[in-house]
Chains A and B, each alone.
Chain A
Amino acid sequence: MEKIHLTIDGVQIEANKGDTVLQAARNAGIFIPSLCAHKELSPYGACRLCVVEIDNVRGTPTSCTTPAADGMVVRTNTEQLNTQRRRTLELMMSGHTSACFSCDSREECEAVKPTPAKAGISTRCGTCSNRSDCSLRQVSLGNFTRDMGLPSIYDPAKVERDDPFIDRDHNLCILCGICVRTCEKVHDGKGAIAIANRGSKAKISSAFGKEWNMEECLFCGACIDECPTGCLTDRWSRWFGKEDGVVESVCRMCPENCKINLRLKNGRLIGVEKTSLKPEDQLCALGRFGYVQILNSQGRLSRHYVKIGGEMIPSSFEEALDRTAEIFERNAGKILIAVPETSADEAKRSAMALSKKFNADLEFVKFDAAELSEESRKNIEGKKYSAMFVAGDYVGEELAGSVESFVNFDFLRNKSQNSADVVFAGAFEDEKNIVKKLEGQEALTSVLKALSDKFSIEESEELPKTREFVSPKTSKCAVPHAYMGHLVADLAPDFAAFGLPVSKKTGEEKAKSGYEILESKVLAPNFHSIKIKAPDMAKYAKAGQFAILMANEKSERSPFTIIDWNAEDGWVQFVFEEVGRSSAELGRLSKGDFLASASGPLGTPFDFSNFKQGQKVLLMGGCYGIAAIYPVARELKKMGVKTTVAIEASTSFMLFFEDKLKTVADEFIVMTRDGTKGSKGGCSNVYEKRGGEFDAAIAVGCVFMMKQCSLFASKTPLSLCSLNPIMVDGTGMCGACRVSLDGETKFACVDGPFFDLGKVDFNELAKRRTAYSLLEIDAMPRHLHSGGGCHK
């Protein structure tokens, strides 16, 4: 390749002819900020971050679109360029949720919360699933100062959560066009999305702005993988964050056998990705989104079983193998072997060899079949066989029981295993080889191979002929309905949106009776308020108490603070943040719906006996605490206590309840972390500065907010905090809300929720919160998409 020479930032470098200035700099290890440049996509020149100065070239050209030339003298890092970049970023950020960048406590906060909160909607980096891997964040952290004064803008209409698999939040989009270019590239120029409208209304969109499921999108997921921000996310796997390892593998759900990259984290499969941006390396929706959900589905089988004395006993691989060999020998001539046609070639060879040796019938089951071929079924019913080896969920309990000996292989539990003599687990634990552990089909290869080795039979050379099929990569309609006999949409419910059959309804069902919802409101992104009819609870409720609510019978029991109530009218109000599953389920209920259960009031009421008329009290609320301090402030004010109510939010659009709080506050203070309303900072700043004026202080908010306030606990004779946010089941059973006070162990749900602010060990609390985060991901909502069907 022809070489050219140029000078970048005073350094002589060599570059390939045809490189852009940006590529030349990168290859030489010189960093130029960029967002819309992508090494495999055509230059675009949209973000204007990669600007440089070049001798004898006017203005500041974008280095990603400027070809490098021999003798060029380039500067990438001048004062003027950096100012220009900052302006550009500011513009980009003015339509983006940006509070974390301006927040003075960002580092501290992120140390306490090392992973973002799993909120329904990203309102800043702190609740954005892209945080661990965000190019925009990286560039911004490197270029911004905290006093940029970015506007606080959020448009609920830009959050789109109606499509299967893909959540989109256009509030986070920077219009870099990478998704559009990616889609176009991987589909040979036929992209499904484009930038529609212009100016402030510009948006990544399918034709006519419809749901992507209704339009050309194939749900290959390529765009998600390349999007540099949190705008496009994979609903199922987004909260796992960045993988810690990638293993190459093969998808065995259809005869395409696409190459895939398995994304692993702590040995667990968290996602499946294409191996490159070449059109031929793209995946279908099933491979991209389904495989990971299927392999992670509940009911995974990870131990082998052998029937001994009528009972299935967990066994070693060898025991299972020995018993299977015995069955083969005993039943020669009367055996059916059935394995998926998509099995690995070696597996098929072994199966063919076994069938030859034992004179057994062999069926390669069609890749999208949920049961065996008619021929095989007739033969079984006609008592042709005395033994069967079936890999997958192809025969029911009865058919399996109709033969003398039945061996099943599956990566999940299935009904036929009830009638089995041997069960091989397709997900068996293999500590050394994670992939084997993950992949049912590779495990099948080892089972069949071990069997044929046992009889030392020669493997057959030939393979069965492949049949014609429509590739699911070319049409959503061709996505296989089943994998190893299991219905895909049973295991990954979103596929119902493509019209795939389900055997049972897996969607969350709304309760038909229980506690009626009288009102349901969104107060701010992720913050919901519901009023329910619960006369008994309303009669006994006291400030500081909580109740355990369940949206439907299957929901988890979760505690929520009682905010307001009216004994006469019999209603109780709750305000909660949408983080995790139970709150998301509650948030989806609307007026007229029912809560399956609501028990309360629970917890020790707030102790007002410590307060006297004429005292001055500082009440501080953040997040849900903005609402939770309301009943306490109301009661105090009634007692004649002088209340100063301070609330904090990351940014102005996250504030709520202001008018309501003003009615119970003698003094009302608003703090925002980015300074877009009230003063810049948090409640702890108020406490620090003015704590000395008060007889008592009460802090209610997230663990970080209370931790910050706790530093000033000595400023007031009495200081309290509410540990509601750390409770999980609210019964004293789960142990999640354990907390140390001066070395003494307490449970927030039983002994609290109010505790001495200065005595709580917040560092310990923060640590335990992180330990729970993986469990929380598993409990994230997988909501069922209703409309759609298959669109060509």
Chain B
Amino acid sequence: MNNDTQSKKYDFSAYEPKRENLVAALQDVQDKDGYISEDAVKELSEYFGITRSDIYSVVSFYAQFKFAKPGRHIIKVCKGTACHVRGSGSLLAALEERLGIKEGETTPDGLVSLERVACLGACALAPAIVVDDKVYGRVSLAQLQKILEGLK
């Protein structure tokens, strides 16, 4: 890919190229793509005259920004105390192993993203996971396998 010959993918002209507008521009990128790509950082760097490492520093500071395109399905594992005590750790390990990714990553086919989240408020159902927007409680490893198989 050659950036010189390719037309720009993003339009930042709504912003004056000033540092204080960087975060707003980043939000636009995230809204459009769902994540902040290397290409986006490159274009932001050229437009705002801020180095790539500097932009990366800003992006990585805010939890709201993502570096990877989210999968079509998002599995969130609760890391609250109750879930932890009841084995959310081994659930996460099992998920990581079966999906071949680590928390915060997305499978190469773009099917599933794996995340850990603060207490889901489903402590009575611990250990709990959320797949897309559905909460599953008292998840066993067998059940996990079924849930994974159901994802397309």
Q: Hey, which bits of chain A sit against chain B, CB under 8 A?
A: 190-198, 205-209, 215-216
The reply to whether A197 and B51 contact each other, CB–CB distance below 8 Å, is no
Interface residues of B in 49-94 (CB under 8 A from A): 51-57, 60-61, 67
In angstroms, Cα B41 to Cα A216, docked, is 13
A–B Cβ pairs within 8 angstroms, 5 of them? A191-B54, A192-B51, A198-B60, A205-B56, A207-B38
A191-B51, A192-B51, A215-B52 are known contacts. Are A208 and B57 too (CB-CB below 8 A)? Answer: no
Contact of B52 among A195, A197, A198, A207 (CB under 8 A): A207
Q: Can you add 20 more A-B contacts, CB < 8 Å, to A196-B57, A198-B60?
A: A190-B51, A192-B53, A193-B53, A194-B51, A194-B56, A194-B57, A195-B57, A196-B53, A197-B61, A198-B61, A205-B56, A205-B57, A206-B52, A207-B51, A207-B52, A207-B53, A207-B55, A208-B67, A215-B53, A216-B52
1/0 per residue B96-133: CB within 8 Å of A? 00000000000000000000000000000000000000
The reply to whether B67 and A194 contact each other, CB–CB distance below 8 Å, is no
Contact of B60 among A196, A215, A216 (CB under 8 A): A196
Task: List 3 A-B pairs, minimum CB-CB distance, nearest first.
Answer: A194-B57, A207-B52, A207-B56
Contacts of A207 in B (CB 8 A): 38, 41, 51-53, 55-56
The reply to whether B54 and A197 contact each other, CB–CB distance below 8 Å, is no
In angstroms, Cα B51 to Cα A193, docked, is 9
A197-B61, A198-B61 are known contacts. Are A208 and B56 too (CB-CB below 8 A)? Answer: yes
In angstroms, Cα B53 to Cα A195, docked, is 8
User: Of all chain B residues, which has the CB nearest A217?
Assistant: B53
In angstroms, Cα B61 to Cα A198, docked, is 6
In angstroms, Cα B54 to Cα A196, docked, is 8
How many whole Å from B19's CB to the nearest CB in chain A?
Answer: 12
Interface of A is mostly: loop
Contact of A194 among B38, B41, B54 (CB under 8 A): B54
In angstroms, Cα B67 to Cα A196, docked, is 13
How many whole Å from B34's CB to the nearest CB in chain A?
Answer: 17
Contacts of B54 in A (CB 8 A): 191, 194
In angstroms, Cα B45 to Cα A191, docked, is 12
Interface residues of B in 7-57 (CB under 8 A from A): 38, 41, 51-57
Residue among A191, A195, A208 with the highest chain B CB neighbour number at 10 A: A208
The reply to whether A216 and B61 contact each other, CB–CB distance below 8 Å, is no
The reply to whether A216 and B51 contact each other, CB–CB distance below 8 Å, is yes
In angstroms, Cα B53 to Cα A194, docked, is 6
A207-B41, A208-B38, A208-B67 are known contacts. Are A197 and B60 too (CB-CB below 8 A)? Answer: yes
User: Of all chain B residues, which has the CB nearest A203?
Assistant: B60
Contacts of B61 in A (CB 8 A): 196-198
In angstroms, Cα B59 to Cα A209, docked, is 12
How many whole Å from A516's CB to the nearest CB in chain B?
Answer: 29
How many whole Å from A372's CB to the nearest CB in chain B?
Answer: 36
How many whole Å from A207's CB to the nearest CB in chain B?
Answer: 4
User: Of all chain A residues, which has the CB nearest B62?
Assistant: A198
In angstroms, Cα B55 to Cα A197, docked, is 11
User: Of all chain A residues, which has the CB nearest B61?
Assistant: A198
Residue among B38, B41, B56 with the highest chain A CB neighbour number at 10 A: B56
Contacts of B41 in A (CB 8 A): 207-208
How many whole Å from A196's CB to the nearest CB in chain B?
Answer: 4
Contacts of A190 in B (CB 8 A): 51
The reply to whether B60 and A206 contact each other, CB–CB distance below 8 Å, is no
In angstroms, Cα B52 to Cα A196, docked, is 11
Contacts of B60 in A (CB 8 A): 196-198, 205
Contacts of B53 in A (CB 8 A): 191-194, 196, 205-207, 215-216
Contacts of B52 in A (CB 8 A): 206-208, 215-216
User: Of all chain A residues, which has the CB nearest B57?
Assistant: A194
In angstroms, Cα B122 to Cα A604, docked, is 66
Contacts of A209 in B (CB 8 A): 56
How many whole Å from B68's CB to the nearest CB in chain A?
Answer: 11
In angstroms, Cα B57 to Cα A194, docked, is 6
In angstroms, Cα B55 to Cα A460, docked, is 54
Contacts of A198 in B (CB 8 A): 60-61
Contacts of B67 in A (CB 8 A): 208
In angstroms, Cα B52 to Cα A205, docked, is 11
How many whole Å from A381's CB to the nearest CB in chain B?
Answer: 42
Contacts of B38 in A (CB 8 A): 207-208
User: Of all chain A residues, which has the CB nearest B45?
Assistant: A207
In angstroms, Cα B38 to Cα A93, docked, is 34
How many whole Å from B4's CB to the nearest CB in chain A?
Answer: 11
How many whole Å from A59's CB to the nearest CB in chain B?
Answer: 26
How many whole Å from A397's CB to the nearest CB in chain B?
Answer: 44
Contacts of B55 in A (CB 8 A): 207
In angstroms, Cα B57 to Cα A190, docked, is 14
Residue among B53, B55, B56, B61 with the highest chain A CB neighbour number at 10 A: B53
In angstroms, Cα B60 to Cα A258, docked, is 37
User: Of all chain B residues, which has the CB nearest A190?
Assistant: B51
In angstroms, Cα B60 to Cα A196, docked, is 6
In angstroms, Cα B57 to Cα A191, docked, is 12
In angstroms, Cα B46 to Cα A190, docked, is 12
In angstroms, Cα B51 to Cα A198, docked, is 19
In angstroms, Cα B61 to Cα A195, docked, is 9
How many whole Å from B86's CB to the nearest CB in chain A?
Answer: 25
In angstroms, Cα B59 to Cα A207, docked, is 10
Contacts of A208 in B (CB 8 A): 38, 41, 52, 56, 67
How many whole Å from A152's CB to the nearest CB in chain B?
Answer: 23
In angstroms, Cα B60 to Cα A188, docked, is 24
User: Of all chain B residues, which has the CB nearest A201?
Assistant: B60
In angstroms, Cα B104 to Cα A197, docked, is 14
User: Of all chain A residues, which has the CB nearest B54?
Assistant: A194
How many whole Å from A781's CB to the nearest CB in chain B?
Answer: 29
Contacts of A195 in B (CB 8 A): 57
